[in-house]
Amino acid sequence: MADNLKDFIEPIAIKGPNEMKKGLERAYFPELDSLRFFAFLMVFGFHHGLPNLGSWIRDILAMTIDLPILILYGTGGIGNRLGPAVDHALSRNGWIGVNLFFTLSGFIITRLLLREELQYGRIDWSAFWVRRILRIWPLYYLIFLIGFLGLPFTDRIHGIGLGSPQMPWFGLFLGNWSMIHFGPIGSDILSILWSVCVEEQFYIFIPIVIAILGTRGRWIFSITGILIAILQRISLAKSGVQQYQITYNSVAQMDSILAGVLLALALNHEPFRNTIVHLTRKYLVWLILPVTLFLITRNHLGHEIVLRQVVDPVAIWLVALVWIMVAAAGSPRFSRILSWPAFVGAGKISYGLYMWHEILLSLFGSGFMTLAAVILTAWLSYEFLEKPVLRYKRRWSRVESRPV
C-alpha cells in the first residue's frame, strides 16, 4: 500500500519566503491525504464504528495522567471528562467529516485545474470528466449493486431490490435528491452514497466555470455560490423541513465545496497567498487544535434551531480551511505528523474506506477489529479494482497530481 510513499512525500520547507512559496507549489500534498483519513475516522465514529473509544481514552488517561495528579493533589478526572466528550463528538458530530471531504475536494480539484491552465493556457474539462469517471465510477457502481441486490453469501445484507423507485436516481448520481423526494433509503450501504452524488454534481460544472470565467468571475461565482447555499439553508430551516432535507440538498451543501474552491483561488494570487501563509504559521497553527476540540464537542452541531442549522456548517468549513492550510504550509510538527506514511497511505484509500465501511459494519458490527477489516478491504479494493482502472488516467492527465 505504501511502498512508493517515500518517493513522493516531500517535506515542507519553512525557513524563508522562497521556501514557503516552493512548499505551496508542490504538485501533491501527502498531508491532505492524512486529513482525508481523519475525516473518514470521524464518519466511521458517527456511524457507531468506535463506540468504546471514549472509554478506552478514559482508562488510558486514568493510568497515565489522572493517577499521578490524584496522588499529588488529591484531584483528577481528566479522563472522566475527555472520554465522554470524545464519545459525544463522534456519535453526534462525526458527520462533519463529510464536510471536510467536501472542502478538500473543492480545494484540490480547483488547484489542479489552475495548474493545468498555467501550464497549457486552457482547461480541458472533457479530460477532467474522464479522470473523474475513472476514479469514482468503478467502486461507486459496485457498492450501488451490492446495496440494491445484496450479497448472496450472507443473510446479513439484503438488497433494497431492483424495483426500488430510488434505483435510477442513484444510478444517475442523484441519490441525494431521491432521498429528499422519497425519504431516506432503507439501507445504510446506499445512504452514504449521497455525498458522492453531491460531489459528482459539483464535478459537472466546476471545471466549466473555472475554464470560461476570468479571475474576477471565478471569485464572484464562488462567493455568490456560498451566499446562495447559506440562504438556501435559511429558507429550508425556517420552513421547518426535516433535517435530512437540508443535509441532502446539494445547494445547501455547496458552500462547503466552494469554500475549498475559494481557498485555491486565493492561494493562486501571490499577495493573498503570502498573507494567508503568514497568518497560518504565526497564529492559526496554534489555535486550530483547541478551536477544533471546542467545535466538535458542541451539542449536536447543525441541528435543533435555525441559527445552528445555518451557521454551524459555516464554522465547520472555516475550520476545515485552516486545517488545509496548516497541512499544506503549517508548522514542521504538523507536517511530520501528517506526513507519517501510515496516515498518508490510509488517506490514499479513503474513498474505499468510506465506500466499504457500512458493509463491514453490517457484517461484523462495530469495533477496532471492524476498522482493521475496513482498512484491509479498502486496500484490496484499491489494489485490484481502483488502481488498474486509475492507470488509464495517465492518458487523460494534463498536470502532475498524486501518483497511483
Q: Based on the domain organization, do 90 and 183 belong to the same domain? A: no
Rounded-to-integer distance, Cα 18 and Cα 270, Å: 12
- The amino acid at 154: T
Indicate whether 244 belongs to any domain: yes
Q: Based on the domain organization, do 70 and 189 belong to the same domain? A: no
- What confidence score (pLDDT) does residue 12 get? 32
Question: Is 0.85 topped by the overall pTM?
Answer: yes
Task: Tell me how many domains the chain contains.
Answer: 2
Q: Based on the domain organization, do 107 and 208 belong to the same domain? A: yes
- What confidence score (pLDDT) does residue 76 get? 58
- What confidence score (pLDDT) does residue 203 get? 93
- What confidence score (pLDDT) does residue 81 get? 59
Per-residue pLDDT of the chain (404 residues; tens, 9 = 90+): 334 333 333 333 333 333 334 456 676 889 999 999 999 999 999 998 887 765 655 555 555 554 565 555 555 565 565 656 666 677 788 899 999 999 999 999 999 999 999 988 999 989 999 999 999 999 999 999 999 999 988 888 999 998 999 999 999 999 999 999 999 999 999 999 999 999 999 999 999 999 999 999 999 999 999 999 999 999 999 999 999 999 999 999 999 999 999 999 999 988 899 999 999 988 999 999 889 988 888 888 898 789 999 999 999 999 999 999 999 887 777 888 899 999 999 999 999 999 999 999 999 999 999 999 999 999 999 999 999 999 888 888 877 777 66
- What confidence score (pLDDT) does residue 8 get? 30
Indicate whether 9 belongs to any domain: no
- What confidence score (pLDDT) does residue 63 get? 55
Q: Based on the domain organization, do 23 and 75 belong to the same domain? A: no
- Nearest one of 208, 165, 210, 174 to 193, comparing CA atoms: 174
- What confidence score (pLDDT) does residue 350 get? 97
Which residues form the domain of 66?
A: 53-94
- Domain stops at, among 61, 94, 127: 94
Q: Based on the domain organization, do 119 and 174 belong to the same domain? A: yes
- What confidence score (pLDDT) does residue 396 get? 83
What is the DSSP code (8-state) at residue 300? S
Q: Based on the domain organization, do 58 and 138 belong to the same domain? A: no
DSSP 350-377: HHHHHHHHHHHHHHH-SSHHHHHHHHHH
Q: Based on the domain organization, do 224 and 119 belong to the same domain? A: yes
- Residue that is written with C-alpha cell 459537472 in the block: 204
Alpha carbon of 139 to those of 48, 69, 389: distances in Å? 23, 50, 10
What is the DSSP code (8-state) at residue 297? T
Q: Based on the domain organization, do 88 and 206 belong to the same domain? A: no
- What confidence score (pLDDT) does residue 241 get? 94
Rounded-to-integer distance, Cα 66 and Cα 334, Å: 27
Rounded-to-integer distance, Cα 276 and Cα 217, Å: 21
Q: Based on the domain organization, do 71 and 176 belong to the same domain? A: no
Q: Based on the domain organization, do 86 and 137 belong to the same domain? A: no
Helix axis angle for 30-46 and 306-329, nearest 10°, is 150
- Nearest one of 183, 199, 151 to 358, comparing CA atoms: 151
Indicate whether 3 belongs to any domain: no
Indicate whether 295 belongs to any domain: yes
Indicate whether 60 belongs to any domain: yes
Q: Based on the domain organization, do 83 and 105 belong to the same domain? A: no
Q: Based on the domain organization, do 164 and 226 belong to the same domain? A: yes
